[in-house]
A = this chain, B = another copy of it.
Amino acid sequence: MQKLIFTNDVTPALAALISELNPDRIALLCDSNTRFIAAELAPAGADIIEILPGDEHKDLEQLSRVWQHLSQSGFTRRSLMVNVGGGMVTDLGGFAAATFKRGIRFINVPTTLLGAVDAAVGGKTGINFLDLKNEIGAFQEAVAVIISTRFFASLPPEELRSGFAEMIKHGLISSAETYRRLIDFDICRANLAELLPLLEESVNVKREIVAQDPREQGLRKALNLGHTAGHAFESLALERNHPVPHGVAVAHGLLVEMILSHMQAGFPSAELYRYAGLLKEAYADVPAISCQDYPDLLRLMAHDKKNTIPGQINFTLLRAPGAPLIDQTATPEAIQTALDLYRDLLNQ
């Protein structure tokens, strides 16, 4: 069973894990952003492998560099990788470990909030290929994940807000009470020590869902809440050379999908107003849309790889906070109505 360790004392936690796993060799994987953290955490004798940073380098070339280092330095099936970084590093490093000699053990040490709450737990590893996100990969869990808010102090504020949107999503699909605690938390003036217990609760939501459905055959699809519309916002912003962080786009996708939930599944309208207020305060950096953007947004939603039935757009919806409904669809007309209401709620 995977270990999740929540602590701001990372070095001794890592040392204890290593002592238990007893690997013959250790490599820490990092990028130029996390090189200093990796150097600080590295036990004596460990290798440090540095790859180029950013999602545009989550590719076969960087992956081959990691494989090459492991091969040429004599790593064996008993060796260990420690991935120190954001989602890009834990995704690529997890896939490198999952496939080196048909799989060696790895530990994730996420250094961003988005990485901690989303990428580092759940076993989805992989790389982009031919500009398609996560086109090549494997399901393989880290043997352990060490989660600390200590690394977040130096992150830009939008990274915290981006990760926090995924925490809100976990609240929405798990319980009304958790959701309430999250929207009452002020992420823009966050105290990182106070964030750690909320993060622990949030990561455990994901862990429990993944344990029940590791390969996304059913329940795990609940984690896609906000992502059909969110990915469309993210891709549209990228196409127009005005990129927004993933989680910020998801924060807006959540509102669109709450509205669809209201239209199709009885989600309470009072929640829409409350959540729109949070968006206006903390997530105002997604460009306003107009009805002229609808065809592009619908095209992007139709291309989402979660769609399995041609011509239908798949969503996870909510009956209420804490009550998700997977495998829902909506017509283009319903989605346009939801986008109209979205703009109204945000006064666009």
- Taking Cβ atoms with an 8 Å cutoff, the residues of A that contact B are 60, 64, 67-68, 71-72, 76-78, 98-103, 124-126, 129-130, 132, 134-139, 215, 305, 308
Contacting residues, chain B, for A308 (C-beta < 8 A):
76-78
Q: A67-B129, A129-B67, A132-B71 are in contact. Are A102 and B138 (CB under 8 A)?
A: yes
User: In the bound complex, what is the Cα–Cα distance between A108 and B263 (angstroms)?
Assistant: 47
**Closest CB of chain B to A87's CB: distance in Å?**
15
User: In the bound complex, what is the Cα–Cα distance between A129 and B103 (angstroms)?
Assistant: 15
Asked if residues A136 and B99 are in contact (CB atoms below 8 Å), the reply is: yes
Query: 17 A-B Cβ contacts within 8 A?
Result: A67-B129, A71-B130, A72-B130, A76-B308, A78-B308, A99-B99, A99-B136, A99-B137, A100-B135, A100-B136, A101-B137, A101-B305, A102-B124, A102-B126, A102-B138, A102-B139, A138-B138
User: In the bound complex, what is the Cα–Cα distance between A72 and B72 (angstroms)?
Assistant: 33
Contacting residues, chain B, for A68 (C-beta < 8 A):
130
Q: A72-B130, A130-B72 are in contact. Are A135 and B305 (CB under 8 A)?
A: no
A103 touches which of B71, B103, B139, B305 (Cβ 8 Å): B139
User: In the bound complex, what is the Cα–Cα distance between A136 and B98 (angstroms)?
Assistant: 9
Contacting residues, chain B, for A305 (C-beta < 8 A):
76-77, 101
What's the dominant secondary structure at chain A's contact region?
A: mixed
* Closest residue on chain B to residue A137 by CB atoms: B102
User: In the bound complex, what is the Cα–Cα distance between A78 and B305 (angstroms)?
Assistant: 11
Contacting residues, chain B, for A139 (C-beta < 8 A):
102-103
Asked if residues B130 and A98 are in contact (CB atoms below 8 Å), the reply is: no
Asked if residues B129 and A71 are in contact (CB atoms below 8 Å), the reply is: yes
Asked if residues A101 and B138 are in contact (CB atoms below 8 Å), the reply is: no
Asked if residues A98 and B129 are in contact (CB atoms below 8 Å), the reply is: no
User: In the bound complex, what is the Cα–Cα distance between A125 and B102 (angstroms)?
Assistant: 8
Asked if residues B102 and A134 are in contact (CB atoms below 8 Å), the reply is: yes
Contacting residues, chain B, for A126 (C-beta < 8 A):
99, 102
Further contacts, 15 of them, CB under 8 A, given A60-B60, A71-B132, A78-B308: A60-B64, A67-B129, A68-B130, A71-B135, A98-B138, A99-B99, A99-B126, A99-B138, A100-B135, A101-B134, A102-B124, A102-B134, A102-B138, A103-B138, A103-B215
A101 touches which of B67, B102, B103, B135 (Cβ 8 Å): B135
A136 touches which of B67, B129, B136, B137 (Cβ 8 Å): B67
**Closest CB of chain B to A156's CB: distance in Å?**
30
* Closest residue on chain B to residue A308 by CB atoms: B78
User: In the bound complex, what is the Cα–Cα distance between A103 and B124 (angstroms)?
Assistant: 11
User: In the bound complex, what is the Cα–Cα distance between A137 and B100 (angstroms)?
Assistant: 6
Contacting residues, chain B, for A136 (C-beta < 8 A):
67, 99-101
Interface-central residue, A77, A78, A135, by most chain B CB under 10 Å: A135
User: In the bound complex, what is the Cα–Cα distance between A132 and B102 (angstroms)?
Assistant: 13
Contacting residues, chain B, for A103 (C-beta < 8 A):
138-139, 215
